[in-house]
Chain A
Amino acid sequence: MRTYLRPALAVLLLALVVWPERFSWLFAPFAPQGGPVIYSRTSLLSLSLNHLALVLIATLAATLVAVGMAILVTRPFGAAFRPLSRTVTNIGQTFPPVAVLALAVPALGFGEGPTLVALFLYGLLPIFENAIAGLSTVSPTVLDAARGIGLTRLQRLIRIELPLALPVILNGIRLSAIIALGTATIGSTVAAKTLGEVIIAGLLTNNTAFVLQGGLIVGLFAVLLYDLMVQLEQRISARLGL
């Protein structure tokens, strides 16, 4: 079933983004009398690409920082910082993204900046926690053997620890990316160009058709991205012989 479902969803998403007016019949019942059915102020394609770019940049940055921190606090010299760094990332997670946006706007102005900051902070925790879990569950016997046959500290990290932790780290990146994909919609409240613009326009004008359009597209992106990353993880795990 999944073999049919995946391309079908992808085609549906592509059609919704590239030829939105073809779906007028579908959304018309939800539009207000005489009001517009399809969002046309900005092209859905450019909003989608911008939305994805924000998610990609924020997730990449969060990955670099979170994995870097996880590596540091799992080394003997960094162990003392483990509780502190956990607290910091946890705070990043407990702060509501809207609050981060509100606080970041005075510093960074309207637009993509505050959204990136919010997505970045929000994305740190899952990646950080998973990276710590992945790095600290590498078998001690394997690490002892790696040391015993003469791998240097850096070689052990790059050749043994990171590859073995990779599936768990990817799991965290996937969670983080999915959260960012949804959260990015809120960025449109501070004028970031995301698919949230469609939803917010719908809410402001009581146009359920817009809300449904934006929501459907974001939802489909989330489902497909999730699926893509699960497949990637499985393929990597298989290649690692795990």
Chain B
Amino acid sequence: MIEIDGLSKFYDNKAAVDAVSMTVETGTITVIVGTSGSGKTTLLRMINRLETADAGEVRIHGEATDSLAPHLLRRRIGYAIQGHGLFPHYTIARNIGAVPALLGWPEDQIRARVDELLSLFSMEPAQFRDRYPAELSGGQQQRVGVARALASRPDLLLMDEPFGALDPIIRARAQDDLRRIQRALGSTILLVTHDMEEAIRLGDRIAVMDGGRLVQHGSPTGIIRNPATGFVAEMVGGVERPLRLLSLLPVADIVEPGTAPGEAIAPTTNLRDALALCLWSGRDALPVQTDDGRAARVTLKAIRAQAQGPG
């Protein structure tokens, strides 16, 4: 559990980060969303003390972060940034193994960990281990950047706009990868982005920041359904709100007995995709796959009911 307690940072007597407190549960992804200048990156950088906090403290598993020397603290916290920041003169293996090497892991253990991570990110170890960052594509460099941050199995992984430099298709793939790997490893991640779409895709919890303050912290559905302020409502996107809400819900939630024409969809499909399928094929209902072979379907009407706002 990561506790952020009254963290503040002032520049010229103006608060860049204003008494932010929140708790991040172990094994979850919390996404901090905000516009540029909202203080989100400063907040993130105060956690591994790349910026010094003017007030407040951070506790990791109950232990205050300022009880350690900054460089020792940082070796325990993964750090991945936009534009990856890989060391151009290190091979991929040395880049990924950088933190374990600093921590004094034995050689063979580092090698095994590097290969494990490369495989986890769908990169053939034998093919990539000895190459240099410049020989990789942007998407691959970014994956290596995340792998480096995960290498020492850190208590916490901080990510600052990690996918900002990627094109949309590669970005979506990187997000899915991150989600899958986070689930597999049970990592605790704090990710900063300006992109609400990314926050909704990745976040177990979303924290919205505005002008240095934490204005809302909650589940994605909670934030879309009941935005705390006008700014949050704007961030979750006026016209796109119903669609974003649907993208968070699986078909399984509203499946009902009955038949429908066409090919059956998986119960894990999200409602936005189901809606798109209905509209595209002109159907009012879609059949849903079931374990026991009984006929099940999801109707356009039921999807519509889910998308309706509170008012």
Binding site for B on A (CB under 8 A): 139, 141-142, 144-152, 155, 160, 163-164, 240-242
Chain B 71-99, CB within 8 Å of chain A: the 1/0 string? 11111100101111111111100000011
A and B contact pairs by CB, cutoff 8 A, 9 listed: A141-B83, A141-B84, A144-B50, A145-B79, A151-B102, A152-B71, A240-B88, A241-B88, A242-B89
Contact B148 A163 (CB under 8 A): no
Min CB distance B74 to A, Å, is 4
Contact B86 A142 (CB under 8 A): yes
Contact of A145 among B72, B85, B135 (CB under 8 A): B85
Known contacts A142-B86, A146-B87, A242-B88; 18 further A-B pairs (Cβ under 8 A): A139-B88, A141-B82, A141-B84, A142-B85, A142-B87, A144-B50, A144-B85, A145-B79, A145-B85, A148-B74, A149-B75, A149-B98, A149-B99, A150-B73, A150-B76, A151-B71, A152-B71, A241-B91
- Give Cα A213 to B149, complex, Å: 62
Is chain A's interface secondary structure helix, strand, loop, or mixed overall?
A: helix
Total A-B contacts with CB atoms under 8 angstroms apart: 69
- Give Cα A241 to B134, complex, Å: 8
B133 contacts the other chain (CB 8 A): yes
B48 contacts the other chain (CB 8 A): yes
Min CB distance B58 to A, Å, is 15
| Residues of B close to A163: CB separation below 8 A | 89
Min CB distance A47 to B, Å, is 41
- Give Cα A242 to B135, complex, Å: 10
| Residues of B close to A155: CB separation below 8 A | 102
Contact B133 A150 (CB under 8 A): no
B132 contacts the other chain (CB 8 A): yes
| Residues of A close to B86: CB separation below 8 A | 142, 145
| Residues of A close to B135: CB separation below 8 A | 241
- Give Cα A147 to B99, complex, Å: 11
Contact A150 B89 (CB under 8 A): no
| Residues of A close to B84: CB separation below 8 A | 141, 145
| Residues of A close to B102: CB separation below 8 A | 149-151, 155
| Residues of B close to A145: CB separation below 8 A | 79, 81, 84-87, 145
